[in-house]
């Protein structure tokens, strides 16, 4: 996938990711921490494989994931913060997550890296 993008002239890719594959406070992926829901593990593993592919390609990329989960009823606050790790208890609203994505697209601050975002 990534090789084809580079051949097509794509220089930067911003990907929406999953909290479950981001490292938790222990440094281990959230999906591998005790007590983390396991019902969608094959879905988590698919995202982890995609991130692994990004790490081996020549593109400039950013993998942006919520630090925990989406606040489905959340309203736009206009803010977010980059989190040091995933946290199943953290939330971010859809509108604020969208702001984080657009910010990363318009003014790239993270290169060839995965980041978590959460509410302020």
Q: What is the pLDDT of residues 56-106, one digit of tens each?
A: 988 999 999 999 988 877 889 989 999 989 999 999 999 999 999 999 999
Number of structural domains found in the chain: 1
pLDDT given for residue 78 in this prediction: 87
pLDDT value, residue 1? 67
Six token digits for residue 69: 């989960």
CA 78 to each of CA 9, 35, 111: distance values in angstroms, whole numbers, following the listed order: 33, 32, 23
Q: Which residue has the tokens 């290169």?
A: 111
Instruction: Give this prediction's pTM.
Output: 0.92
What is the span of the domain harbouring residue 97? Answer: 2-118
Range of weakest confidence among 2-11, 34-43, 55-64:
2-11
How many other C-beta atoms are found inside a 10 Å radius of the C-beta of residue 27?
8
Question: Which CATH number do you get for residue 105?
Answer: 3.40.50.720
Distance CA 38, CA 10 (A): 35
Q: What is the pLDDT of residues 94-108, one digit of tens each?
A: 999 999 999 999 999
Q: How far, in Å, CA of 27 to CA of 31, rounded? A: 11
DSSP single-letter state for residue 45: H
Pairing of strands 81-83, 60-66: unpaired
């Amino acid at each position: 996938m990534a090789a084809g993008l580079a051949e097509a002239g794509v220089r930067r890719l911003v990907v929406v990711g999953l909290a479950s594959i981001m490292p938790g406070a222990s440094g281990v992926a959230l999906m591998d921490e005790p007590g983390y829901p396991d019902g969608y593990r094959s879905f988590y593993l698919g995202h982890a494989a995609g991130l692994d592919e990004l790490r081996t390609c020549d593109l400039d990329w950013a993998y942006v994931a919520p630090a925990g989960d989406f606040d489905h009823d959340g309203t736009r606050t206009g803010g977010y913060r980059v989190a040091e790790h995933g946290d199943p208890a953290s939330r971010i609203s859809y509108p604020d997550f969208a702001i984080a994505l657009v910010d990363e697209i318009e003014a790239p601050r993270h290169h060839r890296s995965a980041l978590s975002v959460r509410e302020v």
